[in-house]
Amino acid sequence: MVSTPRPERVKHFVIARGLPGAGKSTAIARLHPGAIVCSADHFFVGEDQVYRWDLERVSLAHQEAFEKASQACLAGEPLIVMDNTHVQRWEFEGVAALALQHGYTVSYLNVFDGGLSDKELALRNAHGVSEEVIAEMRTKWED
């Protein structure tokens, strides 16, 4: 009996990008249900589900999100999403390299500003990012 090789399972890694309040989390939930979602934002949500952002811990939050993505890649999870603003290329190049190293197909979910003004984004985002900070992020955006 000749055995047929089993097809390799497709592994997909999505890098979500967009300004605060643009709708990244909503788009991820709609487009990629069941995905392993890695986000620095998760670091700041307590057991009581209240978001408490702390500037001094941002680096640690991003490190933890990267570590979660790394562990998911090692486990061969079929669908992983990295959900952060990723305003500039350097902010996601390491994540893309990690995914490719583990045999993932990488794609980008780019919601940029969701068609909203800086003022609307400031009012919508759940993390208290000001209109001024969003405007600065917009000027730094790299396609």
Q: E strand or H helix at 36, and its extent?
A: strand 36-38
Structure confidence by residue, pLDDT tens digits, 26-40: 999 999 999 999 999
Domain count, the chain: 1
Structure confidence by residue, pLDDT tens digits, 111-133: 999 999 999 999 998 888 999 99
1 within domain boundaries: no
88 within domain boundaries: yes
The DSSP letter of residue 95 is: H
CATH number (domain holding residue 76):
3.40.50.300
Sequence-distant (≥ 6) Cβ neighbours of residue 15 within 8 angstroms: 81, 82, 86, 92, 95, 96, 106, 107, 108, 109
41 within domain boundaries: yes
Residue 78: pLDDT band (50, 70, 90) is: very high
Residue type, 6: R
What average pLDDT does the segment 59-67 reach? 95
6 within domain boundaries: no
Range of the domain at 49: 12-140
32 within domain boundaries: yes
Q: E strand or H helix at 137, and its extent?
A: helix 131-140
79 within domain boundaries: yes
Say what the pTM is.
0.89
What average pLDDT does the segment 97-104 reach? 98
